């Protein structure tokens, strides 16, 4: 914060002029004949409080926008609330209940507890009050409490309150850590101050003394449970500013523990005790100020106690904090990077304070004997090291000059700890964190240091954990500066759940789990060959670097390859290893994009992919990297369907790479497939079997798995026997986490659009669609939707309902436009994000089809609108591939004209773009909602 800002803060008027309030309140009473309890006076008093509070609150918000100091904002709001409570107390006592000299039994103290007790109050926070009594409740005390509370409630405040004697406070604090913590933060507001002083003395003597160990254990367990509920990582891209890991509550917990253990009343005293250095204390204050500032803005913007820094408000907060766009990073991404750097500082401070608790003061605390034993256990040498020792399974330094004497030790200590499965002695990790500045170019280019780093990266013993320790200490970013650039960097989208550095570290952890067999059931193919890869080192390095160039203006895959080309020789990789790493980083999205967006039954897709990978080993490397990359994006991003697509691409490409592809002609392959199907239907009536065998065309027979063919033919036979003009069937695939809904209906250009609309109306998320026709003029469409329920019966019932809706729409029983309109209210992504629409039309991706690729903001009904428009353009859709990356839809359609030809005319391609771009922009959807009665799509049945 600037000096000017500090100057402005110093000159701001006091939060509330309580003397003026008292004069106004007295005037109300005098005008009512001295009766402050009348309804007329109460109404005027309440109106005065509301008016004054609203004015002061508006002023405080404006000052926050000016000076940007959340601490000051919270202090001002707390002062304002103090003034309100003080004035209410005096008015009630003097004018409502007309008591001039309350007896000793009628004394009462109003105490702020919890967050309000710290003298900081966020705009939407609860008001936590303790009405402290000397003895039992008296009629006056009860009436006073009731009057104050009702006035506060009528003003719109959320008030948490308790009325207790000192003895009750002490007794309850011994059994309830929530009450104990609230009184630990107690602050006098008004009333009988000696009563409050007595509470502090009794609390310190009867509750705190000798119970530090129990309190600390309880608060740390409470913190761990809170982290579990809000997400274990402090790098979630929609963090909870109050309760999340690295948030305000973590700072509060640290202060509670330190305050309880060291018996201090202010944070500054921790410096005098040596718990924090001056620099660390400034980091504590800076982190606290930043988090309070963000939280205050969140409450003001949302007009409620919003604690989750969601995408919806991140841009608004960034704007209020005056963040600007930087090359490669938007203003909101710059803001969120600062947020995560602060969250990282909170983690550092947690380790530092806990280290001091464990080591420096443990000897003086009888209740911490267990910790003393764990820290001061027998010291043992570590083989091969003279600078580090093993203190009861924790790595420690032999002296405080270890890192200054040889800065390479800042890397070596992590390698030794990983090799020997040692945790870190708290003082040692603290010393390492404070020694980061010793890492310079000499250390970065040191051959031994780089060799040690590669051992850490490729360790068989949980490399993710070691790398995370290095990252949180700041050593990893200092040693690999390009990695340091992505530390705490978020990507403003709904797809990525973590910051870039967290994503990279998680991907390393997943690779280690695949290699050690932990994920063999999830990834059976990768697990079969990962041990046979010629060299595991390039895979780990490539995975560590694959997103390292995020946040730069250029394509991160190309820029990342340049980083790898420069960094790999420094790390000690030879030319062949470097070339492989560079290629993997550059192509790390290729296999995922091909598998999800291309028709894997199209020979051209396989040939193009083969030309990219060129060898079986490279494809295997790329497959493993792709799996780790997708899984590390966040919970729920990876599913069995994506795994199946990758396996299909692998199995289709493998024979081409190994020279084992079939030399049979297209006609021979078709005949063989028909014979295989005939064999699978051998138990059918011969005439029925031969009739059905003539229905599928060659493209169906060559593209669909024989088992699925048999299922489809059985479905056709049963539908025909029942005399149904259209029908649907459901098949769930548990391993792929996908459900197939097969539709048999008279063929029609808009059939896929209607099916997609029905899915959208029913909440089904289509990920793939295979469109086939039969020789008798019907469509056999296989629609694949994401699985929603784990239980097969629940999922089957859900899919059957969607299938029934498709039948009702196709038969005219249900009016689809109305149903879609109900579900096309703006979604979260539509309200927050803006994605430039793109329509790409190409004829080089397939021998027989034109491929239309579209990108745009996802919304309910988008696929239905796109496929309807394509049908309106007199195009046939052979297959559709639907991919959603958070708020971004990336759909691909393989199409021909009505006579089966590609779309080569520039005029027709222009017409396609003109038709689809407004849909991607949402213009067509808006017109549809405004229309009184959308046109009905009818299919003759």
Q: What mean pLDDT comes out for the span 615-624? A: 97
More reliable by pLDDT, 714 or 831: 714
- Give the neighbor-by-neighbor strand order of the sheet with 379-381: 379-381, 388-391, 394-397, 423-424
Per-residue pLDDT reduced to its tens digit, 2-13: 333 333 333 444
Cα separations in angstroms, 354 against 212, 267, 276: 13, 15, 11
- Contact predicate 806/758, CB 8 Å: yes
Q: What mean pLDDT comes out for the span 796-810? A: 88
Confidence of residue 937 (pLDDT cuts 50, 70, 90): very low
Cα separations in angstroms, 186 against 106, 161, 712: 21, 13, 72
Per-residue pLDDT reduced to its tens digit, 506-540: 999 999 999 999 999 889 999 999 999 999 999 99
Q: What mean pLDDT comes out for the span 438-461? A: 96
Q: Is the pLDDT of residue 891 over 70?
A: yes
pLDDT of residue 851: 95
| DSSP line for 349-408 | HHHHHHHHHHTTSGGG-GGGHHHHHHHSS-EEE-TT-SSEEEESSEEEESSTTHHHH-TT
- When mean pLDDT is compared across 241-245, 666-670, 838-842, 870-874, the lowest value belongs to 666-670
- Contact predicate 869/919, CB 8 Å: yes
Q: Is the pLDDT of residue 445 over 70?
A: yes
Alpha-carbon 653 to chain mean position: 35
The helix/strand/coil state of 154 is: helix
Q: Is the pLDDT of residue 652 over 70?
A: yes
Q: What mean pLDDT comes out for the span 620-630? A: 97
% of residues, the chain, pLDDT over 70: 89
Q: What mean pLDDT comes out for the span 257-268? A: 81
Confidence of residue 368 (pLDDT cuts 50, 70, 90): very low
Neighbours of 193 (CB within 10 A): 11
Alpha-carbon 796 to chain mean position: 30
Q: What mean pLDDT comes out for the span 562-585? A: 98
Mean per-residue pLDDT of the chain: 86
pLDDT of residue 78: 94
Angle at alpha carbon of residue 523, lines to 556 and 892, rounded to 5°: 50
- Give the neighbor-by-neighbor strand order of the sheet with 109-112: 159-165, 127-133, 109-112, 187-191
Q: Is the pLDDT of residue 374 over 60?
A: no
Stated as kind and residue range, the H or E segment containing 104 is none
Question: Tokens 């894997």 — which residue?
Answer: 600
Looking at the DSSP assignment, which residues form a beta bridge with residue 397?
Answer: 388
Confidence of residue 924 (pLDDT cuts 50, 70, 90): low
- Contact predicate 671/662, CB 8 Å: no
Sign of the Cα pseudo-torsion (915, 920, 924, 925, in order)? positive
Residue 9 and residue 138: Cα distance in Å, rounded? 43
Stated as kind and residue range, the H or E segment containing 933 is none
pLDDT of residue 828: 53
Q: Is the pLDDT of residue 935 over 90?
A: no
Cα separations in angstroms, 501 against 177, 365, 622, 631: 36, 39, 21, 15
Residue 538 and residue 576: Cα distance in Å, rounded? 9
Residue 423 and residue 417: Cα distance in Å, rounded? 7
pLDDT of residue 727: 92
pLDDT of residue 819: 64
């Amino acid at each position: 914060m600037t000096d000017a800002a500090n100057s402005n803060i110093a000159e701001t008027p006091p939060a509330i002029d309580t003397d003026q309030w008292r004069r106004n309140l007295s005037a109300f009473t005098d005008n009512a004949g001295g009766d402050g309890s009348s309804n007329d006076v109460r109404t005027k008093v309440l109106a005065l409080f509301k008016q004054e509070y609203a004015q002061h609150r508006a002023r405080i918000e404006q000052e926050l926008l000016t000076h940007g100091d959340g601490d000051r904002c919270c202090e001002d709001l707390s002062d304002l609330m103090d003034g309100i409570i003080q004035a209410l107390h005096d008015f009630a006592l003097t004018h409502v209940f007309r008591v001039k000299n309350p007896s000793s039994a009628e004394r009462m103290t109003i105490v702020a507890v919890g967050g309000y007790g710290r003298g900081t109050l966020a705009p939407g926070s609860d008001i936590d009050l303790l009405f402290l009594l000397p003895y039992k409740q008296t009629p006056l005390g009860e009436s006073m409490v009731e009057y104050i509370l009702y006035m506060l409630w009528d003003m719109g405040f959320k008030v948490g309150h308790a009325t207790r004697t000192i003895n009750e406070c002490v007794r309850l604090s011994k059994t309830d850590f929530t009450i104990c913590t609230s009184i630990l933060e107690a602050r006098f507001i008004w009333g009988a101050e000696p009563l409050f002083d007595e509470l502090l003395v009794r609390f310190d003597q009867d509750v705190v003394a000798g119970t530090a160990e129990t309190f600390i254990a309880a608060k740390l367990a409470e913190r761990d449970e809170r982290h579990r509920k809000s997400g274990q990582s402090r790098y979630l891209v929609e963090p909870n500013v109050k309760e999340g890991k690295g948030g305000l509550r973590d700072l509060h917990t640290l202060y509670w523990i330190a305050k309880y253990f060291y018996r201090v009343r202010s944070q500054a005293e921790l410096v005098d005790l040596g718990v924090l250095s001056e620099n660390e204390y400034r980091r504590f204050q800076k982190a606290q100020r930043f988090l309070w500032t963000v939280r205050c803005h969140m409450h003001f913007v949302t007009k409620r106690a919003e604690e989750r820094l969601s995408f919806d408000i991140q841009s608004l907060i960034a704007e209020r904090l005056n963040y600007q766009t930087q090359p490669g990073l938007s203003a909101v991404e710059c803001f969120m990077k600062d947020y995560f750097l602060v969250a990282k500082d909170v983690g550092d401070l947690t380790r530092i304070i806990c280290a001091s608790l464990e080591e420096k003061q443990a000897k003086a605390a009888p209740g911490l004997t267990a910790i003393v034993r764990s820290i001061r256990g027998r010291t043992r040498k570590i083989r091969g090291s003279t600078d580090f020792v093993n203190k009861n399974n924790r790595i420690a330094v032999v002296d405080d000059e270890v890192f200054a004497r040889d800065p390479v030790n800042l890397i070596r200590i992590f390698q030794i700890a990983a090799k020997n499965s040692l945790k870190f002695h708290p003082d040692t990790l603290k010393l390492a964190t404070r020694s980061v500045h010793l890492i310079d170019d000499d250390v970065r280019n040191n051959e031994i240091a780089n060799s040690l780093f590669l051992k850490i990266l490729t360790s068989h013993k949980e490399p993710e954990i070691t790398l995370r320790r290095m990252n949180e200490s700041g050593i990893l970013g200092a040693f690999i500066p390009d990695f340091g650039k992505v530390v705490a960097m978020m990507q403003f989208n709904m797809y990525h759940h973590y910051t870039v550095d967290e994503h990279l570290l998680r991907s390393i952890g997943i690779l280690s789990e695949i290699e050690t067999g932990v994920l063999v059931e999830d990834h059976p193919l990768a697990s079969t060959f990962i041990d046979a890869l010629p060299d595991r080192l390039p895979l780990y390095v490539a995975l560590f670097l694959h997103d390292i160039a995020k946040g730069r203006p250029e394509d991160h895959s190309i820029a990342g390859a340049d980083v790898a080309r420069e960094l790999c020789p420094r790390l000690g990789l030879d030319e062949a290893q470097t070339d492989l790493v560079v290629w993997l980083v550059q192509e790390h999205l290729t296999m995922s994009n091909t598998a999800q967006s291309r028709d894997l039954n199209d020979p051209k897709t396989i040939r193009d992919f083969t030309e990219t990978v060129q060898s079986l080993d490279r494809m295997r490397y790329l497959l493993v990297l792709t799996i780790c990359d997708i899984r590390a994006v966040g919970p729920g991003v990876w599913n069995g369907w994506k795994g199946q697509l990758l396996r299909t691409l692998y199995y289709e490409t493998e024979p081409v790479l190994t020279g084992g592809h079939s030399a049979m002609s297209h006609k021979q392959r078709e005949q063989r497939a028909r014979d295989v199907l005939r064999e699978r239907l051998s138990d059918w009536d011969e005439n029925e079997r031969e009739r059905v065998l003539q229905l599928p065309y060659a493209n169906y027979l060559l593209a669909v798995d024989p088992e699925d063919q048999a299922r489809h033919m059985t479905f056709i036979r049963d539908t025909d026997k029942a005399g149904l003009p259209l029908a649907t069937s459901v098949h769930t695939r548990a391993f792929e986490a996908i459900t197939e809904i097969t539709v048999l209906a008279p063929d029609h250009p808009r059939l896929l659009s209607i099916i997609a609309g029905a899915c959208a109306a029913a909440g089904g998320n289509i990920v793939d669609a295979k469109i086939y026709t039969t020789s008798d003029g019907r469509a056999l469409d296989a629609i694949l939707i994401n699985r929603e329920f784990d239980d097969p019966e629940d999922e089957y019932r859900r899919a059957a309902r969607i299938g029934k809706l498709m039948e009702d729409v196709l038969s005219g029983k249900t009016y689809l436009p109305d149903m879609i309109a109900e579900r096309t209210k703006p979604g979260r992504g539509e309200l927050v994000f803006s994605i430039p629409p793109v329509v790409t039309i190409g004829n080089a991706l397939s021998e027989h089809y034109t491929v239309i690729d579209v990108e745009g903001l996802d919304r309910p009904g988008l696929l239905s609108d796109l496929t309807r428009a394509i049908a309106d353009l007199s195009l046939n859709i052979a297959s559709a591939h639907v991919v959603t990356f958070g708020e971004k839809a990336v759909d691909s359609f393989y199409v021909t004209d009505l006579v089966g030809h590609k779309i080569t005319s520039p005029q027709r391609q222009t017409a396609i773009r003109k038709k689809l771009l407004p849909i991607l922009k949402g213009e067509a959807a808006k017109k549809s909602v405004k229309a009184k009665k959308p046109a009905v799509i009818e299919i003759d049945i």
